Structure 1
Amino acid sequence: MRRNAVQSPLQQPAAAAADWDVVIIGGGAAGVGAARRLAASGLRILMLEAAARIGGRAFTTEIAGLALDLGCGWLHSADRNPWVGIAEASGFTVDRRLPAWGQQYRDLGFSRAERAAADRAFATWHERLTTAPPPSDRAADALEPGGPWNAYLQAISGLVNGAGLEQLSVADYLAYDEASTARNWRATAGYGTLVAASLPATTALRLATPAQAVALDRGGVRIATAAGTVTGRSAILAVSTAVLAGDAIRLPAALDAWRHAAACLPLGRDEKLFLEIVGDGPFAAETHVLGDPRDAGTGAYYIRPLGRPVIEGFFGGEGAGALAEAGPAAGFALAVDQLAALFGADVRRCLRPLAASAWSRSDRIGGAYSHALPGHAAARGDLARPFEDRLFFAGEATHGSDFSTAHGAYESGVRAAEEALAALKVRARTASGVRRER
């Protein structure tokens, strides 16, 4: 990885006590999890968030009176997801209906016989992963050469992992698959709304304040921002792997191993768009269709979620990449074309663009969620390691099995906060001992 060649004035020893006990860099689900764990500690906690809002990749926007999740939307593994308890304790409604994924409304464009064949292809591929995983650890190497449903399997990988099977570690994929409980619920007010509302009021917050550089000194850490320098006894980096591996934050050369681990856990591409249903149209609530099961870049469409007059289009991997490059107008046009091919040309008149995400274009996030490259599943543990009991790392990518989820991010924030608390207690005992010796 590229080292920082320029010495920053932040790398000089601190002359005074730190401003804060713990500085949390990043206000997504991981940062909020860390802040909640630290809330009762009595320590001075500051959160720095680059955006003008809290939530990170959990983002609910309100358009036309509708709460739309442009980021994560489902409480995955909901029967053990901590956000469920947080939601209910805070008065949020949790919808426990089963998702319509895997269904094809009225068999449109994807007959039952074809779905059965596609399901068998998926099951065969998955069986190979578990019983005879390829030595390469590359999920694509378990595909049947020339298999008639390989494009379908690639589409599913894009939607689930944000990347094609060539980029996917088998060991990493199975770690998530084995841990998932397959329970998926929804916060009706929006996942992003829930995350943003869960930051403790005792946490000092500076929005629109991106960290520009993190440096080490004898007393802790120094963090450069456009608004000035912040000092802390410790810091929790709760930012995406794209940020850690990139140039958005200058890091000391001593953290090159962490930057390398982040580079082995790139963010996949997943994007959402919402179409408003104007009038009636042939769209039944809580139904689902796959646009074209023979296209690796197809969109998946959730119709009237929670009864709302919208269609949520979800694109992953190859499809999300094409949308990011072509822009939202092209994405809306593709979605309408795929829906018209299934429901008939008349539906064009009752579909109106509402909103679209652009996660891969965000400099301070850089994509959807992480996947391990083949041979690099262990990078998650490498990235989660503390550095000198001063820097701690959180984020969905640092979770060993619940990566790519908001609850995995939350739990990683709690873990990093506990590590920081333990380290600060040790330092306090050590300092007390030194004073007594004097």
Structure 2
Amino acid sequence: MSLPSSIDVAVIGAGAAGLGAAHALKRAGLSSVVLEARNRVGGRGHTIMAAPDVTFDLGCGWLHSADHNAFVKIAETLDFEIDRKLPPWRERAWGKSFPPEERADFIRSLDEFFERLEEAAKGGVDHPANLYLQAGNRWNPMIDAISSYINGCETDRLSILDFDAYEDTNLNWRVRRGYGALMQAYGAALPIAFNCAVTLIDHSAKRLRIETSQGTLSADKVIITVPTNLIAEGAIRFVPALPDKVDAASKLPLGLADKVMLALDEPELLPVDGNLRGATMRSEMGTYHLRPFGQPCIEGFFGGRFAQALEDAGDGAIAAQAIDEIVSFVGNDFRRKLKPLTESRWAHDPFARGSYSHALPDHASKRAVLAAPVDNRLFFAGEATSPNFFSTAHGAHDSGERAVREVIAATLGK
């Protein structure tokens, strides 16, 4: 759509939060436009066909806490099949690279670490999570790797109070056609201006002036849903400046979680929805989802500093690492059966600059600071503003609806 010159509410970003906000504004009868820098909806939710027979979610792929996840109902409404099988984590181990007794010992150490975090958080004083690693425990590097998958960062950069605030019902489902494809369908009927990057929000006058790559528009109110790294790095400038928001965003950085998809010849040699991981005793390791949905492929996952180093090494480095590691687990004969298809590089994505947020130690309270409205005209949403479902698409979606409730309350309060 073309950019309007004036609107009731402008929504910045067509990720899960922006889509949730736009639908809520539509229901409320407020005129709105979504300003999206990309040429697609979904933000950090993006489904591609990595091969004709391989669907791949480059970003979010799991309906976490599915019994509290708004996208479950959205999927059912839009006739998207939901896969309710167990995720390929604890119960689906495969291969000889991580013997059962070793794996049981690792899981026990991991659970005891989580229990120590939970107990420490009850005191209400924040600390870095790495303080609760058991000194000398041989599994500590792999616990750091697990943290990098879950949080996008290692334990030294993780707030225990923030980690404890996350609500996980341990019910994790998938969208067969892709989470990103579901978001695409969810946004299909919304007023969205694509390739429209916002660079400045001037809130010095009665009406807001919003400068974009396609021109300028005015609005009564704005809902800002962009990732924290963009706010922290000044990709959008505020006039007058909002130093508290920039500071809060900088204390809620996006961690990094990257994926790679490998084509697999002779897929019948591996189990459907299995999990492959080695007893590496390293934090620099991947974890591998074997034949997701029964497809002829392996999906690899890397997080934290190791993912950043692989991204920085250039295109293809993640795939090369994944193939080398898989071969070390299952034997060199598998090398000829594996072929790189595609990989994500979220830290190098200019409109994301990372994957999902975590609070730095001593800064768990910054989620509420980032979420707070400014002058009843600037409203903030996105997964980083969710108090309990941060780092998820449904947390982002719900925050968009929350921001619209704030917009309506401010409008009625005039």
TM-score normalised by the chain length of structure 2 = 0.95
The answer to whether 1:76 aligns with 2:51 is: no
Out of 192, 195, 208, the residue aligned to residue 183 of structure 2 is: 195
C-alpha displacement of 1:276: 0.7
In the alignment, what sits opposite 2:374? Answer: 387
Q: Would you say the 8 A contact 2:311–2:348 is kept in 1?
A: yes
Per the alignment, in what secondary structure is the counterpart of residue 233 of structure 1?
Answer: strand
The answer to whether 1:378 aligns with 2:365 is: yes
In structure 1, how many angstroms separate the alpha carbons of the residues matched to 2:401 and 2:9? Answer: 13
Q: Would you say the 8 A contact 1:297–1:317 is kept in 2?
A: no
In the alignment, what sits opposite 1:160? Answer: 150
- Runs of 4 or more consecutive aligned structure 1 residues displaced over 6 Å after TM superposition: none
The answer to whether 1:172 aligns with 2:159 is: no
In the alignment, what sits opposite 1:320? Answer: 307
In the alignment, what sits opposite 1:13? Answer: none
Per the alignment, in what secondary structure is the counterpart of residue 75 of structure 1?
Answer: coil
In structure 2, how many angstroms separate the alpha carbons of the residues matched to 1:333 and 1:247? Answer: 34
Deviation digits for residues 258-317 of structure 1 (CA, Å, limit 9, x no counterpart): 111111100001100100112346322110111454110211100110111111101011
In structure 2, how many angstroms separate the alpha carbons of the residues matched to 1:104 and 1:189? Answer: 22
Q: Would you say the 8 A contact 2:254–2:354 is kept in 1?
A: yes
C-alpha displacement of 1:190: 0.3
In the alignment, what sits opposite 1:284? Answer: 271
In the alignment, what sits opposite 2:17? Answer: 30
Per the alignment, in what secondary structure is the counterpart of residue 263 of structure 2?
Answer: strand
The answer to whether 1:49 aligns with 2:36 is: yes
Q: Percent identical across equivalent pairs? A: 41
In the alignment, what sits opposite 1:62? Answer: 49
In the alignment, what sits opposite 1:215? Answer: 202
In structure 1, how many angstroms separate the alpha carbons of the residues matched to 2:207 and 2:237? Answer: 16
Which range moves more in the overlay, 94-103 or 79-88?
A: 94-103
Cα distance, 1:354–1:277 mapped onto 2, change above 3 Å: same
In structure 2, how many angstroms separate the alpha carbons of the residues matched to 1:291 and 1:19? Answer: 57
Aligned partner letter, 2:172: N
Aligned partner letter, 2:384: A
In the alignment, what sits opposite 1:101? Answer: 89
Corresponding pairs, count: 408
CA RMSD of aligned residues (A): 1.6
In structure 2, how many angstroms separate the alpha carbons of the residues matched to 1:416 and 1:106? Answer: 44
TM-score normalised by the chain length of structure 1 = 0.90
Which range moves more in the overlay, 154-163 or 117-126?
A: 117-126
C-alpha displacement of 1:364: 1.4
Q: Would you say the 8 A contact 2:58–2:259 is kept in 1?
A: yes
In structure 1, how many angstroms separate the alpha carbons of the residues matched to 2:33 and 2:120? Answer: 48
Aligned partner letter, 2:134: E
Aligned partner letter, 2:176: T
In structure 2, how many angstroms separate the alpha carbons of the residues matched to 1:132 and 1:50? Answer: 41
In the alignment, what sits opposite 1:6? Answer: none
Aligned partner letter, 1:180: D
Q: Any gaps of 5 or more consecutive residues in structure 1?
A: 1-16, 428-438
Q: Would you say the 8 A contact 2:148–2:257 is kept in 1?
A: yes
Out of 339, 356, 368, the residue aligned to residue 355 of structure 2 is: 368
Deviation digits for residues 164-184 of structure 1 (CA, Å, limit 9, x no counterpart): 1000000000111xx210000
In the alignment, what sits opposite 2:170? Answer: 182
Q: Would you say the 8 A contact 2:267–2:297 is kept in 1?
A: no
Out of 134, 141, 149, the residue aligned to residue 151 of structure 1 is: 141
Out of 274, 284, 303, the residue aligned to residue 290 of structure 2 is: 303
Question: Larger Cα Rg: Structure 1 or Structure 2?
Answer: 1
Aligned partner letter, 2:138: P
Out of 247, 266, 286, the residue aligned to residue 260 of structure 1 is: 247
Out of 132, 154, 163, the residue aligned to residue 142 of structure 1 is: 132
In structure 2, how many angstroms separate the alpha carbons of the residues matched to 1:168 and 1:361? Answer: 22
In structure 1, how many angstroms separate the alpha carbons of the residues matched to 2:379 and 2:254? Answer: 20
Per the alignment, in what secondary structure is the counterpart of residue 43 of structure 2?
Answer: coil
Deviation digits for residues 85-122 of structure 1 (CA, Å, limit 9, x no counterpart): 01001111111111121246444211111112112211
In the alignment, what sits opposite 1:9? Answer: none
Q: Any gaps of 5 or more consecutive residues in structure 2?
A: none
In structure 2, how many angstroms separate the alpha carbons of the residues matched to 1:343 and 1:18? Answer: 60
Aligned partner letter, 1:43: L
Q: Would you say the 8 A contact 2:144–2:283 is kept in 1?
A: yes
In structure 2, how many angstroms separate the alpha carbons of the residues matched to 1:343 and 1:164? Answer: 27
Cα distance, 1:48–1:399 mapped onto 2, change above 3 Å: same
In the alignment, what sits opposite 1:411? Answer: 398
In the alignment, what sits opposite 1:239? Answer: 226
Cα distance, 1:292–1:338 mapped onto 2, change above 3 Å: farther
Deviation digits for residues 296-345 of structure 1 (CA, Å, limit 9, x no counterpart): 02111001101111111010112211211112322111111111111111
